[in-house]
Structure 1
Amino acid sequence: MTTNDSPVVVGVDGSPGADAALAWALDEARSRQASARLVYGFGRDLTYGSMAIYGNLAVPELPHVKAIARRQLAAAATQAQTLAPDVVVTTHDYADDAVAALLEESEHASTVALGSRHLGAIGSAVLGSVGAAVSARAACPVVVVRGPAALPAESAAVVVGVAAREDSEATLAYGFDFARRRSLPLHAVLCWHLDLLAEMMWRSEPPAPARVETWLLEALAGWREKYPDVEVHSAVVREHPVAGLIAASNAQHLLVVGTRGRHALAGTLLGSVSQGVLHHATCPVAVVPSSAG
């Protein structure tokens, strides 16, 4: 049954990473009571940077590329019907590159789901570039399935990277809504700047200033009231945000981070860490634009 007009969009290309993204997107569509929209973007610019993907081989003719796209979409739609027969699935192919296609789709989607590269092949590198570009520029949250989502039975949580800045509201809104729909606890993590003298082992690591702990608790207070059924934990850690959030999200269900915005409290380093965690996290990563809240 579909009651949400904004679909969950998933990029399809026939790779194992895209298959994992499809499974994640179907679960999310069911959770949102939304449809799933399978998208394949193909274009004539078959290059990666300045390098031709096909090397010295002849570039495939457009009708042949389009036929491949439609076969991939049909196979993915069949797979989706098997995995989630209760989710309405639509497909669309674009005679444009994948980044442009997915950015256009993000204007009307609730979420865009993408697979992640794990191999060193050219195709995997291209998929990685798509994930990086779309997550940085999409109009809606983008989830890159970096690894499997840990199960609630494994004490998994939704980890939200909180930056002391105004646009963390969108990140928290996404994290709390996701945690509520999935009946998961939420762990809010704020990474405070490193103590360089402690890093050089010239002195012990001092705790983060009390005002930072207080600010985080105050930032979460309104969300606790709005989502009383969500179990909330919070922590301030002295660590670079990429390393700190990767450690906090190990064996968790989802890591949520925001895009760069203006800081409201000097001293935090979260900034734009999405690209860093996208390269190293081992669970799905949601990148939330500041306008998504």
Structure 2
Amino acid sequence: MNDPVLVGVDGSEASLAAVDVGVREARLRGCGLKVVHAFIWPLMHVSLGPSPNGPAEGGLRHQAEDVLADARRRARELDPDLHVDTELVTGEPLGVLAGRSRGACLVVVGSRGLGRFSALLIGSVAVHLAAHAACPVLIVRGRPEPEGDVLVAVDGSGVGAEAVGFAFAEASVRRAPLTALHAWHSHTGRLDRAERVPEEAVVGWREKYPDVDVRTRLVEQHTRPALIEASRGAQLLVVGARGRGGFAGLMLGSTSQAVIQHADCPVAVVRHTEPAEPA
């Protein structure tokens, strides 16, 4: 079986919304769904069982098990035939999801959560997860049921090649048009060069995905506001991020961080990893 779609849950409504998206993504890809809950309490050396004076089904471990049971139930309601695995993992959310991403084709996380897991978006953990995961990360945010094109940011560098490929694959399985957008400003380079960037970015991909209706777009605007504005009419925004061979020193650029926090549709971050330099 193909690598599964991985969803991180914490019991919040936002994480259940991530399960909804994860089910759809798994169904589109013809793969299974793996739902993970990071159980940090054992690291705190606190009691995990029910209180002596409380109900037998109480306690932190039962609570964690209920989070996974609710997520599994949600997935089954949406697609009874989908293969769903759940896993309760002792650890901190970022480390757990980054580690499990090595065996996944996509990580899906929600826009807000509870407790420590609330940082899985609109905060440092979302940014770090998108930078450290071993596969693309899809952050569920914006409109509940976004429609429109798959939008991919292109800048003329080699960093976005993986992002463009991911965007074409998403547009194909979603049966949606794809828009390759390049934001240009007079201080960033010549207009004649900027006009070629969107078309050059999709060269080769049109032939690989002949079913995708491709549109290219050049806007005279700074990149961050251009992408946030364009996201209002998109069903998915795909951005690339630079990595440096392995996990050491990875960061997301300001554009990726901005769209993670402000886009009006889900955002997929796809890392470009350059070969590590010889020691």
**Please, what TM-score do these two structures have when normalized by structure 2?**
0.83
Say if 1:89 and 1:42 are closer, same or farther in 2 by CA, change over 3 A: same
| Per-residue Cα deviation, 1:145-186 (whole angstroms, up to 9, x for no partner) | 0123423xxxx1100011221121100000000000110000
Paired residue for 1:229, among 204, 208, 211? 211
Task: Give the letter for the 1:142 counterpart.
Answer: V
Say if 1:26 and 1:125 are closer, same or farther in 2 by CA, change over 3 A: closer
Matches within 5 A, 1:88-237: 88-117=83-112, 125-128=118-121, 129=123, 130-147=125-142, 148-151=144-147, 156-193=148-185, 209-237=191-219
Moved over 6 A (4+): none
2:6 and 2:174 mapped to 1: Cα distance?
19
| Per-residue Cα deviation, 1:195-241 (whole angstroms, up to 9, x for no partner) | 59xxxxxxxxxx96112212321221211111111001111222222
Secondary structure of residue in 2 paired with 1:279: helix
2:128 and 2:253 mapped to 1: Cα distance?
17
1:9 and 1:184 mapped to 2: Cα distance?
23
Paired residue for 2:77, among 70, 82, 99? 82
- What are structure 1's unaligned runs of at least 5 residues? 48-58, 197-206, 263-269
1:290 and 1:116 mapped to 2: Cα distance?
24
1:101 and 1:139 mapped to 2: Cα distance?
12
Conserved 8 A contact 2:15-2:112: no
Which residue is equivalent to 1:36?
33
1:44 and 1:271 mapped to 2: Cα distance?
33
Offset of 1:46 from its aligned partner? 8.4
How many residues get paired?
Answer: 255
Paired residue for 2:23, among 26, 49, 73? 26
- What are structure 2's unaligned runs of at least 5 residues? 50-58, 245-251, 275-279
1:14 and 1:122 mapped to 2: Cα distance?
10
Conserved 8 A contact 1:163-1:271: no
